[in-house]
Amino acid sequence: MSYFKTALLLAGLTALFMGVGYLIGGANGALIALIVAAAMNIFTYWNSDRMVLSMYGAQEVDERSAPDLHRMVAELAGRAGLPMPRVFIMDNPQPNAFATGRNPENAAVAVTTGLMHQLSREELAGVVAHELAHIKHHDTLLMTITATIAGAISMVAQFGMFFGGNRENNNGPGLIGSLALMILAPLGAMLVQMAISRTREYAADEMGARICGQPMWLASALGRIEAAAHQVPNVDAERSPATAHMFIINPLSGQGMDNLFATHPSTDNRIAALQRLAAEIGGTTYRPASAFSRSAGVAPASVPPRGSGRSPWGGQPRDRGPWG
């Protein structure tokens, strides 16, 4: 998707926000909504990484507290021609990851403990490369701003339901209008949000595969994460569904098919695209996640205290890849 099309989608999201404001407060409401949307974009531009990382309780790690992970990110960032991003770990059993930040110079990559415990070194490298691709494409700012505005639209729509539903004059939407507002406004925001996210995922898959040099590493990781995401809940994501599109695989329960209402493309479609790429540039044969033995990953271990000097991988032996 071109940046021009992305700009149009964001403009549509802002227009939807203004429309909600108009239904609640008329022309003045639309103007206020426009000002609020602009203020949110400015605030999010400077604080997007801190907002999302704090929301998920992510802890920053370095070469002393998580040497293997930190070294892997540094190696892959070098291959991608990117500055070294900050590295974070989220204490969450669901295997997943996302990237955030306003630009490559102020970016962060966050992975869950579940991802580190359940994936092999090669699969983890594929996931990290995918997130670095988002950074290189400047997707991280776009996705965070989209999440902020989409969440605000849902909040304002609920506000209109509670404060506009009892009005019988022409200054508010009325009961029927409020009900429609509460249902249709978040739905419209979700559609714009999904249109942005789904196209970006395919592009990040391709570039991530090229960064790590092995499309099947990422394909294998996607299959494993998809299988686990439907079994292991992500409580933080369920509380903030507007951020679901930021993860490599939808962290919310009950999502699946590649349809209009999915936050991500079908994982099967993504794997098929990576298989085609592997045939072009070379790569290993894909095996479903269930075919991998448990020993491919690392035995579960608790996240060490920050500054303890012990790797969150627990020092357990792992399949050795190009990062040691």
Residues with a known catalytic role: 131
Q: Does 264 appear as a known binding residue? A: no
For the chain, counts of helices (H) and of strands (E)? 9, 4
Q: At what angle do helices 174-212 and 121-136 cross, to 10 degrees?
A: 120
254 Rama class: left (phi>0) / alpha (psi -120 to 50) / beta: left
d(CA 207, CA 215): 9
Q: Does 134 appear as a known binding residue? A: yes
In contact, 123 and 96? CB cutoff 8 Å: no
Q: Which residue has the tokens 């940046």?
A: 3
Q: Count other C-beta atoms under 10 Å from residue 162's C-beta.
A: 10
Closest CA to 62 of 315, 310, 301, 321: 310
d(CA 208, CA 136): 10
Inter-CA distances, 23 with 161, 164, 168, 184, 302, Å: 11, 9, 14, 12, 50
Longest dimension (CA), the chain: 70
117 Rama class: left (phi>0) / alpha (psi -120 to 50) / beta: alpha
Q: Which residues touch 179 (CB under 8 Å, ≥6 apart)? A: 161, 165
Closest CA to 135 of 50, 192, 73: 73
Could you say which DSSP state residue 291 is in?
A: G
Tokens standing for residue 116: 């580190």
Q: Does 137 appear as a known binding residue? A: no
Annotated binding site: 130, 134, 201
Residue numbers in the known binding site for Zn(2+) are 130, 134, 201
